[in-house]
Amino acid sequence: MKMWSGRFREPLDPEFERWQRSFAYDQRLLPYELAASRAHANALEHAGVLSSEELSDPEAEDVHHFVEKQLAVQIGATGYKLHTGRSRNEQIATDLRLFVRDSIDTLQNLIADWVEAILSRADAAGNAAMPAYTHLQPAEPVLVAHWLLAYVEMFLRDATRLADCRKRANLCPLGSGAVAGATLSLNRQAMAAELGFDGPTANSIDATSDRDFALEFVQTLSLLALHLSRWAGEMILFSTPAYGFVELPEPYSTGSSAMPQKKNPDLLELVRGKAARLMGCAVTLETLVKGLPLAYNKDLQETQEPVFNAADAIIAMLPLVTGFMNTVEFNDAKMNQAASSGFMNAWAAAAYLVERGVPSRLAHEAVGKAVALAVERGCDLQKLSLADLQAIHPSFDAGFHSCLGLTEVLTLHDVPGGTAPRHVKRALQNARERAAALRAVEQTATR
Ligand code: ARG
Protein backbone atom coordinates (compact mmCIF):
# COMPACT_ATOMS: atom_id res chain seq x y z
CA MET A 1 0.00 0.00 0.00
CA LYS A 2 1.17 3.52 -0.82
CA MET A 3 1.35 5.95 2.07
CA TRP A 4 -1.00 8.40 0.40
CA SER A 5 -3.06 6.66 -2.36
CA GLY A 6 -6.49 7.35 -0.87
CA ARG A 7 -7.04 10.66 -2.60
CA PHE A 8 -5.87 9.47 -6.04
CA ARG A 9 -8.05 8.01 -8.83
CA GLU A 10 -5.27 7.54 -11.39
CA PRO A 11 -2.05 5.60 -10.91
CA LEU A 12 1.25 7.44 -11.03
CA ASP A 13 3.22 7.53 -14.24
CA PRO A 14 5.55 4.55 -13.66
CA GLU A 15 8.67 6.39 -14.77
CA PHE A 16 7.91 9.34 -12.47
CA GLU A 17 7.10 6.96 -9.67
CA ARG A 18 10.52 5.28 -9.89
CA TRP A 19 12.36 8.56 -10.38
CA GLN A 20 10.98 10.31 -7.30
CA ARG A 21 11.92 7.56 -4.87
CA SER A 22 14.66 8.26 -2.35
CA PHE A 23 14.87 4.74 -0.98
CA ALA A 24 18.00 3.98 -3.04
CA TYR A 25 19.96 6.35 -0.82
CA ASP A 26 17.85 7.07 2.24
CA GLN A 27 17.96 3.39 3.26
CA ARG A 28 21.19 4.22 5.04
CA LEU A 29 19.05 6.18 7.49
CA LEU A 30 17.37 2.93 8.55
CA PRO A 31 18.99 2.70 12.01
CA TYR A 32 17.88 6.26 12.75
CA GLU A 33 14.40 5.69 11.33
CA LEU A 34 14.02 2.66 13.59
CA ALA A 35 15.25 4.52 16.66
CA ALA A 36 12.94 7.45 15.93
CA SER A 37 10.00 5.12 15.21
CA ARG A 38 10.61 3.31 18.46
CA ALA A 39 10.50 6.61 20.34
CA HIS A 40 7.29 7.57 18.48
CA ALA A 41 5.71 4.16 19.22
CA ASN A 42 6.47 4.56 22.91
CA ALA A 43 4.83 7.98 22.87
CA LEU A 44 1.80 6.43 21.11
CA GLU A 45 1.55 3.85 23.84
CA HIS A 46 1.45 6.55 26.45
CA ALA A 47 -1.13 8.44 24.43
CA GLY A 48 -3.20 5.21 24.42
CA VAL A 49 -3.06 4.57 20.65
CA LEU A 50 -0.90 1.47 20.78
CA SER A 51 -1.53 -1.12 23.47
CA SER A 52 1.44 -2.75 25.13
CA GLU A 53 0.63 -6.05 23.42
CA GLU A 54 0.53 -4.43 19.98
CA LEU A 55 3.79 -2.73 20.77
CA SER A 56 5.61 -5.89 21.92
CA ASP A 57 4.89 -7.63 18.75
CA PRO A 58 8.88 -3.91 4.35
CA GLU A 59 9.47 -1.49 -3.67
CA ALA A 60 9.29 1.16 -0.88
CA GLU A 61 9.10 4.88 -1.71
CA ASP A 62 11.48 5.84 1.03
CA VAL A 63 12.91 4.61 4.28
CA HIS A 64 9.78 5.70 6.16
CA HIS A 65 7.47 3.76 3.85
CA PHE A 66 9.82 0.77 4.06
CA VAL A 67 9.70 0.57 7.84
CA GLU A 68 5.90 0.89 7.91
CA LYS A 69 5.51 -1.89 5.30
CA GLN A 70 7.95 -4.16 7.06
CA LEU A 71 6.13 -3.66 10.29
CA ALA A 72 2.78 -4.52 8.69
CA VAL A 73 4.31 -7.71 7.23
CA GLN A 74 5.61 -8.74 10.60
CA ILE A 75 2.82 -7.76 12.95
CA GLY A 76 -0.16 -7.28 10.62
CA ALA A 77 -2.51 -4.31 10.46
CA THR A 78 -1.25 -2.98 13.78
CA GLY A 79 1.83 -1.86 11.88
CA TYR A 80 -0.28 0.77 10.16
CA LYS A 81 -0.91 2.34 13.53
CA LEU A 82 2.70 3.44 13.75
CA HIS A 83 2.12 6.48 11.56
CA THR A 84 -0.62 7.77 13.84
CA GLY A 85 -0.18 11.46 14.54
CA ARG A 86 3.07 11.83 12.65
CA SER A 87 4.37 12.84 9.24
CA ARG A 88 7.33 11.87 7.12
CA ASN A 89 8.29 15.55 7.20
CA GLU A 90 9.25 15.35 10.86
CA GLN A 91 10.74 11.87 10.41
CA ILE A 92 13.23 12.80 7.72
CA ALA A 93 14.22 15.88 9.71
CA THR A 94 14.80 13.66 12.75
CA ASP A 95 16.67 10.91 10.89
CA LEU A 96 18.99 13.41 9.22
CA ARG A 97 19.75 15.11 12.52
CA LEU A 98 20.65 11.74 14.03
CA PHE A 99 22.86 10.95 11.04
CA VAL A 100 24.67 14.29 11.34
CA ARG A 101 25.12 13.84 15.10
CA ASP A 102 26.61 10.36 14.73
CA SER A 103 28.87 11.52 11.94
CA ILE A 104 30.14 14.38 14.09
CA ASP A 105 30.96 11.98 16.94
CA THR A 106 32.88 9.73 14.53
CA LEU A 107 34.64 12.75 13.03
CA GLN A 108 35.78 14.15 16.36
CA ASN A 109 37.71 10.96 17.04
CA LEU A 110 39.17 10.90 13.53
CA ILE A 111 40.24 14.54 13.87
CA ALA A 112 41.84 13.70 17.24
CA ASP A 113 43.81 10.86 15.55
CA TRP A 114 44.91 13.19 12.75
CA VAL A 115 45.89 16.04 15.06
CA GLU A 116 47.75 13.66 17.34
CA ALA A 117 49.70 12.29 14.36
CA ILE A 118 50.77 15.85 13.48
CA LEU A 119 51.65 16.51 17.12
CA SER A 120 53.86 13.41 17.32
CA ARG A 121 55.79 14.62 14.31
CA ALA A 122 56.08 18.08 15.86
CA ASP A 123 57.38 16.49 19.04
CA ALA A 124 59.87 14.35 17.13
CA ALA A 125 61.10 17.35 15.12
CA GLY A 126 62.65 18.81 18.29
CA ASN A 127 64.63 21.91 17.41
CA ALA A 128 64.82 21.22 13.67
CA ALA A 129 64.26 24.42 11.66
CA MET A 130 62.90 25.29 8.25
CA PRO A 131 62.14 28.44 6.29
CA ALA A 132 58.76 30.08 6.75
CA TYR A 133 57.54 31.80 3.60
CA THR A 134 55.47 34.85 2.85
CA HIS A 135 54.58 35.43 -0.82
CA LEU A 136 56.25 32.00 -1.20
CA GLN A 137 59.56 33.83 -0.70
CA PRO A 138 61.83 32.76 2.20
CA ALA A 139 60.87 35.01 5.12
CA GLU A 140 62.13 33.85 8.51
CA PRO A 141 63.35 30.58 9.99
CA VAL A 142 60.88 28.70 12.20
CA LEU A 143 60.88 25.42 14.05
CA VAL A 144 59.44 22.54 12.01
CA ALA A 145 57.23 21.96 15.04
CA HIS A 146 55.92 25.53 14.81
CA TRP A 147 54.98 24.96 11.15
CA LEU A 148 53.19 21.72 12.00
CA LEU A 149 51.35 23.41 14.85
CA ALA A 150 49.90 25.89 12.35
CA TYR A 151 47.98 22.98 10.78
CA VAL A 152 46.97 21.71 14.20
CA GLU A 153 45.25 25.05 14.87
CA MET A 154 43.20 24.78 11.67
CA PHE A 155 41.93 21.30 12.47
CA LEU A 156 41.23 22.09 16.10
CA ARG A 157 39.12 25.01 14.91
CA ASP A 158 37.24 22.62 12.61
CA ALA A 159 36.59 20.40 15.61
CA THR A 160 35.13 23.29 17.62
CA ARG A 161 32.89 24.21 14.68
CA LEU A 162 31.62 20.62 14.55
CA ALA A 163 30.97 20.64 18.29
CA ASP A 164 29.05 23.88 17.91
CA CYS A 165 27.04 22.51 14.98
CA ARG A 166 26.22 19.43 17.07
CA LYS A 167 24.54 21.56 19.73
CA ARG A 168 22.06 23.09 17.29
CA ALA A 169 21.54 19.75 15.49
CA ASN A 170 20.78 17.94 18.71
CA LEU A 171 17.11 18.92 19.08
CA CYS A 172 14.26 16.58 18.28
CA PRO A 173 11.64 17.43 15.60
CA LEU A 174 9.39 14.50 16.55
CA GLY A 175 5.93 15.78 17.44
CA SER A 176 6.08 18.53 14.78
CA GLY A 177 3.77 16.58 12.46
CA ALA A 178 3.57 17.71 8.85
CA VAL A 179 3.87 21.40 9.67
CA ALA A 180 1.52 22.46 12.47
CA GLY A 181 2.42 19.96 15.21
CA ALA A 182 1.20 16.45 15.97
CA THR A 183 -2.54 15.79 16.04
CA LEU A 184 -2.10 13.87 19.28
CA SER A 185 -0.76 15.14 22.53
CA LEU A 186 2.55 13.23 22.39
CA ASN A 187 5.19 13.49 25.07
CA ARG A 188 7.84 15.34 23.09
CA GLN A 189 10.27 15.56 26.02
CA ALA A 190 10.24 11.78 26.40
CA MET A 191 10.77 11.14 22.67
CA ALA A 192 13.66 13.61 22.61
CA ALA A 193 15.24 12.07 25.72
CA GLU A 194 14.90 8.54 24.37
CA LEU A 195 16.88 9.54 21.28
CA GLY A 196 19.57 11.37 23.23
CA PHE A 197 18.47 14.78 22.02
CA ASP A 198 18.91 17.78 24.33
CA GLY A 199 15.19 18.56 23.97
CA PRO A 200 12.42 19.06 21.43
CA THR A 201 12.60 21.70 18.66
CA ALA A 202 10.65 24.88 19.42
CA ASN A 203 8.56 25.45 16.27
CA SER A 204 6.89 22.85 14.07
CA ILE A 205 7.03 24.94 10.87
CA ASP A 206 10.75 25.53 11.31
CA ALA A 207 11.50 22.00 12.50
CA THR A 208 9.99 20.33 9.42
CA SER A 209 11.68 22.66 6.93
CA ASP A 210 14.96 23.49 8.66
CA ARG A 211 18.14 22.06 7.13
CA ASP A 212 20.54 24.53 8.79
CA PHE A 213 22.11 21.69 10.75
CA ALA A 214 22.92 19.89 7.48
CA LEU A 215 24.25 23.08 5.96
CA GLU A 216 26.43 23.93 8.94
CA PHE A 217 27.72 20.38 9.01
CA VAL A 218 28.64 20.30 5.32
CA GLN A 219 30.03 23.86 5.33
CA THR A 220 32.24 22.90 8.27
CA LEU A 221 33.38 19.79 6.42
CA SER A 222 34.11 21.84 3.32
CA LEU A 223 36.29 24.14 5.42
CA LEU A 224 38.03 21.11 6.91
CA ALA A 225 38.58 19.81 3.35
CA LEU A 226 39.96 23.20 2.41
CA HIS A 227 42.45 22.98 5.28
CA LEU A 228 43.45 19.50 4.17
CA SER A 229 43.91 20.82 0.64
CA ARG A 230 46.23 23.59 1.87
CA TRP A 231 48.27 21.04 3.77
CA ALA A 232 48.37 18.71 0.75
CA GLY A 233 49.31 21.54 -1.57
CA GLU A 234 52.23 22.54 0.61
CA MET A 235 53.39 18.95 1.10
CA ILE A 236 53.37 18.45 -2.70
CA LEU A 237 55.50 21.55 -3.09
CA PHE A 238 57.91 20.49 -0.35
CA SER A 239 58.25 16.99 -1.89
CA THR A 240 59.53 18.36 -5.21
CA PRO A 241 63.30 18.06 -5.74
CA ALA A 242 63.54 21.87 -5.78
CA TYR A 243 62.63 21.88 -2.07
CA GLY A 244 63.45 18.34 -1.02
CA PHE A 245 62.05 18.87 2.49
CA VAL A 246 59.73 15.86 2.34
CA GLU A 247 60.33 12.30 1.18
CA LEU A 248 57.04 10.74 0.03
CA PRO A 249 56.21 7.44 1.74
CA GLU A 250 55.99 4.66 -0.87
CA PRO A 251 52.84 3.08 0.59
CA TYR A 252 50.99 6.29 -0.19
CA SER A 253 52.61 7.16 -3.55
CA THR A 254 52.32 5.79 -7.06
CA GLY A 255 54.61 5.47 -10.07
CA SER A 256 54.21 6.66 -13.62
CA SER A 257 53.27 4.16 -16.33
CA ALA A 258 55.56 6.09 -18.68
CA MET A 259 58.44 7.61 -16.71
CA PRO A 260 60.28 5.00 -14.63
CA GLN A 261 61.92 7.51 -12.29
CA LYS A 262 58.65 9.03 -11.01
CA LYS A 263 57.19 8.81 -7.53
CA ASN A 264 53.99 10.79 -7.56
CA PRO A 265 52.14 12.32 -4.59
CA ASP A 266 48.74 10.85 -5.58
CA LEU A 267 47.36 10.75 -2.06
CA LEU A 268 48.17 14.42 -1.57
CA GLU A 269 46.77 15.34 -4.98
CA LEU A 270 43.49 13.54 -4.34
CA VAL A 271 43.22 15.17 -0.91
CA ARG A 272 43.74 18.55 -2.59
CA GLY A 273 41.14 17.61 -5.19
CA LYS A 274 38.49 16.34 -2.76
CA ALA A 275 38.00 19.86 -1.43
CA ALA A 276 36.21 20.65 -4.70
CA ARG A 277 33.66 17.92 -4.04
CA LEU A 278 33.05 19.11 -0.51
CA MET A 279 32.60 22.70 -1.61
CA GLY A 280 30.17 21.45 -4.25
CA CYS A 281 28.13 19.68 -1.58
CA ALA A 282 27.94 22.87 0.45
CA VAL A 283 26.87 24.95 -2.55
CA THR A 284 24.22 22.34 -3.46
CA LEU A 285 22.67 22.60 -0.02
CA GLU A 286 22.77 26.39 0.02
CA THR A 287 21.15 26.55 -3.41
CA LEU A 288 18.44 24.07 -2.43
CA VAL A 289 17.30 26.08 0.53
CA LYS A 290 17.69 29.53 -1.05
CA GLY A 291 14.29 31.16 -1.55
CA LEU A 292 12.42 28.00 -0.50
CA PRO A 293 9.04 28.92 1.02
CA LEU A 294 8.00 27.34 4.32
CA ALA A 295 7.63 24.64 5.20
CA TYR A 296 8.45 21.15 3.87
CA ASN A 297 8.96 21.00 0.09
CA LYS A 298 10.06 17.88 -1.74
CA ASP A 299 13.18 19.82 -2.83
CA LEU A 300 14.44 18.98 0.63
CA GLN A 301 14.76 15.32 -0.32
CA GLU A 302 17.72 16.50 -2.42
CA THR A 303 19.52 17.61 0.75
CA GLN A 304 20.24 14.04 1.76
CA GLU A 305 22.87 12.95 -0.75
CA PRO A 306 25.23 15.94 -0.35
CA VAL A 307 25.22 15.30 3.41
CA PHE A 308 26.05 11.60 2.94
CA ASN A 309 28.60 12.40 0.26
CA ALA A 310 30.41 14.99 2.36
CA ALA A 311 30.47 12.81 5.49
CA ASP A 312 31.67 9.75 3.54
CA ALA A 313 34.44 11.70 1.81
CA ILE A 314 35.91 13.13 5.01
CA ILE A 315 35.45 9.99 7.09
CA ALA A 316 37.37 8.03 4.41
CA MET A 317 40.09 10.67 4.02
CA LEU A 318 41.12 11.40 7.61
CA PRO A 319 42.55 7.93 8.41
CA LEU A 320 44.56 8.08 5.17
CA VAL A 321 46.16 11.44 5.85
CA THR A 322 46.87 10.20 9.39
CA GLY A 323 48.66 7.14 7.96
CA PHE A 324 50.57 9.40 5.58
CA MET A 325 51.62 11.74 8.38
CA ASN A 326 52.85 8.82 10.48
CA THR A 327 55.16 7.58 7.68
CA VAL A 328 56.27 10.65 5.73
CA GLU A 329 59.97 11.51 6.13
CA PHE A 330 61.15 15.03 6.79
CA ASN A 331 64.63 15.82 5.50
CA ASP A 332 65.92 17.74 8.52
CA ALA A 333 69.30 18.43 6.97
CA LYS A 334 67.77 20.06 3.89
CA MET A 335 65.27 22.05 5.92
CA ASN A 336 67.93 23.26 8.34
CA GLN A 337 70.20 24.16 5.47
CA ALA A 338 67.41 26.13 3.77
CA ALA A 339 66.59 27.83 7.07
CA SER A 340 70.20 28.97 7.53
CA SER A 341 70.62 30.64 4.14
CA GLY A 342 68.75 33.17 2.03
CA PHE A 343 69.11 36.13 4.40
CA MET A 344 66.31 34.97 6.64
CA ASN A 345 68.27 36.49 9.53
CA ALA A 346 67.89 40.00 8.09
CA TRP A 347 65.06 40.95 10.42
CA ALA A 348 67.11 39.71 13.37
CA ALA A 349 69.96 41.87 12.09
CA ALA A 350 67.70 44.90 12.02
CA ALA A 351 66.43 44.06 15.52
CA TYR A 352 70.05 44.04 16.65
CA LEU A 353 70.51 47.61 15.46
CA VAL A 354 67.20 48.70 16.97
CA GLU A 355 68.38 47.38 20.31
CA ARG A 356 71.36 49.73 19.92
CA GLY A 357 69.08 52.72 19.56
CA VAL A 358 68.76 52.91 15.77
CA PRO A 359 65.17 53.83 14.72
CA SER A 360 63.62 50.79 13.10
CA ARG A 361 63.06 52.38 9.67
CA LEU A 362 66.76 53.32 9.49
CA ALA A 363 67.85 49.92 10.81
CA HIS A 364 65.75 48.30 8.05
CA GLU A 365 67.45 50.52 5.47
CA ALA A 366 70.97 49.75 6.78
CA VAL A 367 70.43 45.97 6.84
CA GLY A 368 68.87 46.20 3.36
CA LYS A 369 72.10 47.75 2.14
CA ALA A 370 74.14 45.07 3.89
CA VAL A 371 72.01 42.40 2.15
CA ALA A 372 72.56 44.08 -1.22
CA LEU A 373 76.32 44.03 -0.58
CA ALA A 374 76.23 40.37 0.44
CA VAL A 375 74.20 39.50 -2.69
CA GLU A 376 76.83 41.30 -4.76
CA ARG A 377 79.59 39.30 -3.09
CA GLY A 378 77.64 36.03 -3.20
CA CYS A 379 77.90 35.48 0.56
CA ASP A 380 75.72 35.44 3.70
CA LEU A 381 75.28 38.46 5.97
CA GLN A 382 77.51 36.85 8.60
CA LYS A 383 80.43 36.83 6.14
CA LEU A 384 80.55 40.62 5.74
CA SER A 385 83.43 42.20 7.65
CA LEU A 386 82.82 44.65 10.46
CA ALA A 387 84.55 47.35 8.41
CA ASP A 388 82.13 46.82 5.48
CA LEU A 389 79.20 46.92 7.86
CA GLN A 390 80.33 50.03 9.69
CA ALA A 391 80.74 51.79 6.37
CA ILE A 392 76.97 51.25 6.01
CA HIS A 393 76.03 52.21 9.58
CA PRO A 394 78.26 53.04 12.57
CA SER A 395 76.02 51.11 15.01
CA PHE A 396 77.13 47.72 13.64
CA ASP A 397 79.59 46.40 16.24
CA ALA A 398 81.57 43.33 17.30
CA GLY A 399 78.56 41.50 18.77
CA PHE A 400 76.68 41.63 15.47
CA HIS A 401 77.87 38.39 13.88
CA SER A 402 76.97 36.26 16.88
CA CYS A 403 73.31 37.33 16.76
CA LEU A 404 72.79 35.93 13.26
CA GLY A 405 73.01 32.19 13.91
CA LEU A 406 69.90 30.03 13.46
CA THR A 407 69.48 29.40 17.18
CA GLU A 408 69.74 33.10 18.00
CA VAL A 409 67.27 34.07 15.31
CA LEU A 410 64.76 31.45 16.48
CA THR A 411 65.11 32.46 20.11
CA LEU A 412 64.53 36.09 19.20
CA HIS A 413 60.83 35.38 18.57
CA ASP A 414 60.29 35.00 22.29
CA VAL A 415 56.56 35.60 22.52
CA PRO A 416 53.62 33.24 23.11
CA GLY A 417 52.50 32.02 19.69
CA GLY A 418 55.98 32.68 18.28
CA THR A 419 58.66 30.21 17.18
CA ALA A 420 61.09 30.54 20.12
CA PRO A 421 61.65 26.93 21.27
CA ARG A 422 60.34 27.47 24.79
CA HIS A 423 57.06 28.84 23.48
CA VAL A 424 56.70 26.08 20.89
CA LYS A 425 57.16 23.54 23.63
CA ARG A 426 54.31 25.05 25.60
CA ALA A 427 52.14 25.36 22.50
CA LEU A 428 52.67 21.67 21.83
CA GLN A 429 51.53 20.75 25.30
CA ASN A 430 48.49 23.00 25.05
CA ALA A 431 47.51 21.51 21.67
CA ARG A 432 47.86 18.00 23.09
CA GLU A 433 45.33 18.83 25.77
CA ARG A 434 42.86 20.27 23.29
CA ALA A 435 43.22 17.20 21.05
CA ALA A 436 42.62 14.85 23.97
CA ALA A 437 39.48 16.80 24.91
CA LEU A 438 37.95 15.91 21.51
CA ARG A 439 37.79 12.29 22.58
CA ALA A 440 36.24 13.12 25.93
CA VAL A 441 33.03 14.37 24.27
CA GLU A 442 29.99 12.36 25.30
CA GLN A 443 29.14 9.79 22.64
CA THR A 444 25.46 9.09 22.02
CA ALA A 445 25.93 7.05 18.86
CA THR A 446 22.66 5.58 17.55
CA ARG A 447 24.41 3.40 14.95
N1 ARG B 1 11.67 11.03 1.30
C2 ARG B 1 11.22 12.30 1.77
C3 ARG B 1 12.43 13.28 1.96
O4 ARG B 1 13.51 12.83 2.01
C5 ARG B 1 10.53 12.15 3.11
C6 ARG B 1 9.53 13.23 3.40
C7 ARG B 1 8.39 13.13 2.43
N8 ARG B 1 7.35 14.07 2.74
C9 ARG B 1 6.34 14.38 1.90
N10 ARG B 1 5.53 15.26 2.29
N11 ARG B 1 6.27 13.83 0.68
O12 ARG B 1 12.23 14.47 2.06
Q: How far apart are CA 170 and CA 408, in angstroms?
A: 51
Give me the pLDDT at residue 55, please: 62
Contact 88, 62 (CB under 8 A): yes
- For residue 49, pLDDT over 80 is answered with no
Q: What percent of the chain has pLDDT over 90?
A: 80
User: In ligand 1, which atom is closest to the CA atom of 92?
Assistant: 5
Looking at every residue in the chain, the average pLDDT score rounds to: 93
Residue ranges lining ligand 1, Cβ < 6 Å: 22, 26, 62, 88-89, 92, 296, 298, 300-301, 304
Position in ligand 1 atom list of the atom nearest CA 63: 1
User: Among residues 443, 171, 151, which one has the least CA distance to residue 325?
Assistant: 151
Most confident of 34-48, 183-197, 336-350: 183-197
95 Cα: distance to centroid of ligand 1 (angstroms): 12
The Å distance, Cα 2 to ligand 1 centre, comes to 13
Which phi-psi region, left, alpha or beta, contains residue 177 (left: φ > 0; alpha: ψ -120 to 50)?
A: left
More confident residue, 84 or 121: 121
Q: What is the pLDDT of residue 443?
A: 55
Active site residues: 135, 256
pLDDT reported for residue 258: 82
Q: How far is the CA of 102 from the centre of ligand 1 (A)?
A: 21
